[in-house]
Structure 1
């Protein structure tokens, strides 16, 4: 009998080149530890948002809880397991709400469109025309540091539920849609 093992990839390798793992099954060998520092939680969520965008089939373990409400990150790839009983319960809640393609953005010529159909949230679609390039630059920023003059953009995105911030850094919540779910028209 042949056994297939999934490659264990550390978080640093995933952060360095997430596109290399697109559409692949990857195991994160160490738990992602949440709840000790909001800025660190933001960086873990940034990694999960990026991997969700690249449709990486990630198997990972959670320790603790992110400093933000579940509805802000339930659209990112959910944990497969938890370190303790409370963590496992949170992993189950997260997995219950996770569906690929429920909160994403797409770019077009001079615009960004956002679709939000997360469970428990009112469905919303929006088109960003003014500042679309700045929004996308912040969304794709590897560190979440706003550019010069982007303070108002961050404030507006947080107020609109499109971003969270901690420690002077922001995380745009919708991920860039790179792979269409099947069927792509499904709600």
Structure 2
């Protein structure tokens, strides 16, 4: 209590930090999030799924990054972010149904399931101004050696900068290469 007002303790930071450190390859993931942010000059993040929601585990704002409310520990629906959709695409269909059962209409769910099949085939997801007008993102799932999804890494930025070939081809390629390196380290460490 401070000034006769209750507030959360910073002790939760200790607990959350310990859980985050238990992520496989957490040091490498953190380093890759920073490297991507520096290379692209955009906002980069690594998300995990917990209780059917996306949770930001690592974020980094590159030199030209747009300020958003994405902060470590922030939660939200999986289906409205590139990284969240990348995670959803790799989950078992029963788990996807559990997560989406109450949040979407039947038609929107069918459309999303079609999109998830495409994401699974090509290996990356897009967010084309779906969660924040004017903001786009590309996300790629990070898989464990047992083929279960660990999380997803993404790059986000203004639609005016993330467009054309850069958005549709170069960023996905950069992210796929980064994830390949993370997954190799997971497999052989």
Q: State TM-score, norm by structure 2.
A: 0.31
Q: State TM-score, norm by structure 1.
A: 0.32
Q: Which has the higher helix share?
A: 2
